[in-house]
Structure 1
Amino acid sequence: MQNSPKKEFRNDEALLDIQDRPTFFHWLILSIQHLFTMFGATVLVPLLIGINPSIALFSSGVGTLTYILCTKAKIPAYLGSSFAFVTTMQALMKADGYPAVAQGAISAGLVYVVVSLVISRFGSNWVDRVLPPVVVGPIIIVIGLSLATTAASDAMLNNNHYDLKYFAVAIFTLLITIIFNLYLKGFPSMIPVLLGIICGYLLAVMVGIVDLQSVAAAKWFSLPAFDVMFVNYHFKWYPAAIIGMAPIAFVTMTEHMGHIMVLNKLTKRNFFKDPGLHRTLFGDGLSSVIAGFVGGPPTTSYGENIGVLAMTKVHSVWVLGGAALFAIIFSFVGKISALIHSIPTPVIGGISFLLFGMIASNGLRILVDNHVNYELKRNLVITSVILVIGIGGAYLQLGHFQLTSIALATVFGIILNLILPQKARSEK
């Protein structure tokens, strides 16, 4: 492997650091691992709202490369379809069709761009005050554990009914991935997720829960039906789309910053300062704008891929960029897209048990490493409120605008941290 020169900020615990470039064969396999990890969620969003999944795959790849470019190739992240907008997009599709969804996606992306320009002008020093470890740690725990029910549903449910075969495949996938992660050495130790998915898939084929007919029927080359703005449609304003989706961008920004916090911890960097929060928000927003113009849903950074980074200790931006290139290529190759799409939910669920747990564990590490003092009542209160609201699934619904549990927990955590005294009267 070709390693970059050592720098003062280099993370020597990583097997491959951010600027390290693997050999071609290793790069190929590591990138495919990230592709498999994000594929299920990225194509599920368009399926839920009635958009061509190949377009979502294409826009996620282009969006990720755009993000890497905007952040000067300093942040290893993958951007896939965002679930935060699903409910609103479903309503818009029924009322006005995809042109309305496209305008909503573009408007949400532009909110990111505007906020990034404001931060570029006035700075982001407020981040350390607003988001100290006692707030950041629990938020990251919530990001991981709030996905636990999704992992469990994927692992056990077949058409909303408990299926023992599904659960057996999920547990096998989980256990074999853990074994690969703990006992493999050399290059195979970097791809335990990919190996786990392959083994889980083979078992799923043997027990008959994989639809191979869709793979056989798929064409080798298939051009995605791009719904290009201003080309496929006569321009028309959809105020309901803009009003419905633009405010949700402020919600997804909190999740965006949560993911940056996790990446800060994993890579031993401070991405809020270098390349800067304004660049990360600008890249994320521009990705959604591009997605809206080609016919895809808004995008966001993916916790699943962050989980892979945590498990494998491979933080190379080359690997994430490779996954984005494969996503673009595979969006035109029908059989490969169908093969990846045929990976059954229990395989994804088994992997998710581990990946989502890795995210939550990094939240615990932040609390431990920063010696957060739980003898102080304020710290107990802040952590308790964040965990219960976030994991409990509480949300705020105002018309089409929804404040998700993660966002609501973040808002409460920030407010409590700013207003509660450092010590209660009984502690002085």
Structure 2
Amino acid sequence: MNDVKYDVNDMPKPGLLVGLSFQHLFAMFGATVLVPILVGIDPAIALFSSGLGTLAHLTVTKYKIPAYMGSSFAYIAAMQMLMKTDGIAAVAQGAMAGGLVYLLVALIVKFAGNAWIDKVLPPIVVGPIIIVIGLSLASTAVSDATMIDGKYSGTSLLISMVTLFAVILFNMYGKKIIGVIPILLGLIVGYLFSLILGLVTGQEIVHFASVASAKWFQIPSFDIPFVNYDFKLYPSAILTMAPIAFVTMTEHFGHVMVLNSLTGRDFFQDPGLDHTLTGDGLAQIIAGFFGAPPVTSYGENIGVMALNKIYSVYVIAGAAVIAVVMSFIGKVSALLNSIPTAVLGGISIALFGVIAASGLKILVENKINFDNKKNLLIASVILVSGIGGLVFQIGGLQITGVATSTILGIVLYQILPEPKVDEA
């Protein structure tokens, strides 16, 4: 922990705080606006709700956990289906139902306690799960870095590599403020390089048309019950989306475990798992109320913290406030949306890799013995099922990736016997 630059409750100077907050904004922006675009919802609503939900989460967790809430990919299939049948009202109701599931589980944890967590999630389960959280996003990072419209692009690869190496150089050799904001600086380098490359080659790599046509002030297209639509109960939406909350809940546990590892704290104990779950649930209810996609804690932002060693909740709060403000500024949102995918891909390669490496760090620090057959099998199953994308499907409910590997890891740890000393 000696290399920490700003701890959880440290507040950087105002100028630096803004720069650090923008780093987190850029890290979550692409994924947060992509989900509503895929579903057919105004991206500005998602930006607004992610910021407001993050502030709600920080408040509920007593400003002790540096977690950013962004649009959840786990609900995409369910939302797309509901948008075709019952519309945004059903999606919103399903999102709020998922939030209520979080609150219910939080209530159970509050009275039953959370001493069971160490028994259910020991280092041999936690480490590989964190590796999966990082590496399960690897294909997305590489695709963003090398593809345009599903086809390989040498131009994208060049841009992403320039961005990646800029991040690496700023992180390794940057002094003072430069070493603190390597991701933001890498993004700027990648963006400027894209502009120059476009001018030299005649390609339109950065698209400014949407920026020119966007308004300066623009209220997001909120969909609020009793205001924009009449309230009606949608049982199908509740039954479709509420169970998915259990899937994202396992990701929530994983992200908190990563933050525990990075900060040297135990957030399951302070402020407590009941508070972290309540914060997530409240953020999701807020998102549903305004007609935005459900939200969840973001691995991208955890990656930023892992890279720059800055865990300040005030930086996260700053990013949340900026996101809310940005949602009302049409031109700024359009400008952010003009960042080439290849630039985001180059940054993602660094971020997701750092998350995976933090999982390895847990295994090393806890001196996990892989000559122990139980440990070897648990890690093997978690890694292959998680990175490979093993799917459990029950009716319309799909459990994939991180959630699947988490469940398998927990079950195997409980049912596999400890090997005898001469077999270990």
1:89-108 equivalences in 2 (<5 Å): 89-108=79-98
**1:56 equivalenced with 2:52 (yes/no):** no
How far apart are residue 230 of structure 1 and its match?
2.2
The one-letter code matched in structure 2 to 1:312 is: N
What is aligned with 1:215?
211
How far apart are residue 398 of structure 1 and its match?
2.1
What is aligned with 2:308?
312
What is aligned with 1:177?
167
Out of 44, 67, 90, the position equivalent to 2:57 is 67
**C-alpha distance in 2, partners of 1:170/1:160?**
16
The one-letter code matched in structure 2 to 1:109 is: G
1:251-266 equivalences in 2 (<5 Å): 251-266=247-262
Contact residue 377 and residue 424 of structure 1 kept, 8 A:
no
**1:394 equivalenced with 2:390 (yes/no):** yes
User: Secondary structure of 2:70's match?
Assistant: strand
What is aligned with 1:117?
107
Contact residue 55 and residue 294 of structure 1 kept, 8 A:
yes
The one-letter code matched in structure 2 to 1:270 is: D
**C-alpha distance in 1, partners of 2:396/2:340?**
32
**C-alpha distance in 2, partners of 1:354/1:27?**
22
User: Secondary structure of 2:393's match?
Assistant: strand
Cα-to-partner distance string for 1:78-130 (whole Å, 9 max, x where unaligned): 10000000011000001111001001100001000100011011100000000
Out of 408, 412, 417, the position equivalent to 1:412 is 408
How far apart are residue 276 of structure 1 and its match?
0.3
User: Secondary structure of 1:358's match?
Assistant: helix
Out of 145, 149, 155, the position equivalent to 1:165 is 155
**C-alpha distance in 2, partners of 1:399/1:221?**
44
Contact residue 18 and residue 316 of structure 1 kept, 8 A:
yes
Aligned length: 418
Contact residue 35 and residue 327 of structure 1 kept, 8 A:
yes
The one-letter code matched in structure 2 to 1:259 is: H
Which piece of structure 1 moves more, 228-237 or 308-317?
228-237
What is aligned with 1:333?
329
The one-letter code matched in structure 2 to 1:58 is: F
1:292-311 equivalences in 2 (<5 Å): 292-311=288-307
The one-letter code matched in structure 2 to 1:88 is: A
What is aligned with 1:6?
none
**C-alpha distance in 2, partners of 1:354/1:13?**
19
**C-alpha distance in 2, partners of 1:230/1:422?**
57
**C-alpha distance in 2, partners of 1:70/1:369?**
31
**C-alpha distance in 1, partners of 2:3/2:188?**
27
C-alpha RMSD over aligned residues? 1.0
Contact residue 103 and residue 292 of structure 1 kept, 8 A:
yes
**C-alpha distance in 1, partners of 2:40/2:392?**
26
How far apart are residue 422 of structure 1 and its match?
1.4
User: Secondary structure of 2:5's match?
Assistant: coil
**1:82 equivalenced with 2:72 (yes/no):** yes
**1:274 equivalenced with 2:264 (yes/no):** no
How far apart are residue 165 of structure 1 and its match?
0.3
The one-letter code matched in structure 1 to 2:38 is: L
Out of 286, 311, 319, the position equivalent to 2:282 is 286
Cα-to-partner distance string for 1:320-350 (whole Å, 9 max, x where unaligned): 0000000000000011100101111100000
The one-letter code matched in structure 1 to 2:22 is: I
What is aligned with 2:25?
35
Contact residue 330 and residue 336 of structure 1 kept, 8 A:
yes
Q: TM-score, normalised by structure 2?
A: 0.97
**C-alpha distance in 2, partners of 1:378/1:230?**
55
Contact residue 378 and residue 424 of structure 1 kept, 8 A:
no
Out of 3, 6, 9, the position equivalent to 1:13 is 3
The one-letter code matched in structure 2 to 1:37 is: A
Structure 2 residues without counterparts, runs of 5 or longer? 199-204
How far apart are residue 421 of structure 1 and its match?
1.1
The one-letter code matched in structure 1 to 2:6 is: L
How far apart are residue 393 of structure 1 and its match?
1.0
**C-alpha distance in 2, partners of 1:298/1:426?**
50
The one-letter code matched in structure 1 to 2:270 is: D
**C-alpha distance in 2, partners of 1:124/1:198?**
43
Out of 292, 317, 323, the position equivalent to 1:321 is 317
**C-alpha distance in 2, partners of 1:401/1:259?**
22
Moved over 4 A (4+): none
The one-letter code matched in structure 2 to 1:359 is: I
**C-alpha distance in 1, partners of 2:420/2:210?**
62
What is aligned with 1:134?
124
What is aligned with 1:152?
142
How far apart are residue 32 of structure 1 and its match?
0.8
How far apart are residue 13 of structure 1 and its match?
3.0
Cα-to-partner distance string for 1:294-335 (whole Å, 9 max, x where unaligned): 110100000010001011111110000000000000000011
Contact residue 169 and residue 203 of structure 1 kept, 8 A:
yes
**C-alpha distance in 1, partners of 2:156/2:118?**
44
The one-letter code matched in structure 2 to 1:347 is: V
